């Protein structure tokens, strides 16, 4: 049901961002695993996680942020609203809808 990506495995190219219902989460604990992130996201009512991707270095270490694809744009919006600025594993997290990349921006949420 849910696609979990392994840090040492090449991932498939995701669909274009405008077709995805993706949230961007940071900071996350460096030791967090995808299954733990998924469980936390699913504490929001009526949310179906499609995939969780913790962004990692070439050595497989977490970079401290993640993208989560949800089934619908409404689910993504509700999830971002419910979880933004909450404390998770002793960290206050920012949860926002992911935006398509801009050529002039270096923010990983865009």
**Per-residue pLDDT tens for 62-75?**
999 999 999 999 99
Q: By mean pLDDT, which of 5-9, 52-56, 90-94 is the weakest?
A: 5-9
Residue 38's φ and ψ, nearest 5 degrees, are -60, -45
**Is the pTM value of this prediction over 0.85?**
no
Handedness of CA 68, 49, 41, 72 (dihedral sign): positive
Rounded CA separation 93/54 (Å): 14
> How do residues 3-50 score in pLDDT, each as one tens digit?
555 444 444 555 555 556 999 999 999 999 999 999 999 999 889 999
């Amino acid at each position: 049901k849910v696609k979990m990506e392994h840090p040492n495995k090449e991932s498939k190219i995701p669909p274009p961002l405008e077709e995805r219902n993706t949230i961007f989460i940071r900071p996350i604990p460096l030791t967090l695993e995808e299954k733990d992130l998924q469980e936390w996201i699913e504490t929001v009512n009526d949310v179906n996680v499609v995939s969780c991707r913790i962004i990692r270095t070439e050595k497989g270490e977490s970079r401290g942020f993640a993208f989560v694809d949800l089934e619908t744009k409404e689910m993504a919006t509700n999830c971002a609203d419910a979880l933004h600025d909450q404390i998770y594993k002793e960290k206050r997290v920012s949860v926002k809808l992911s935006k398509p990349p801009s050529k002039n921006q270096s923010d990983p949420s865009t």
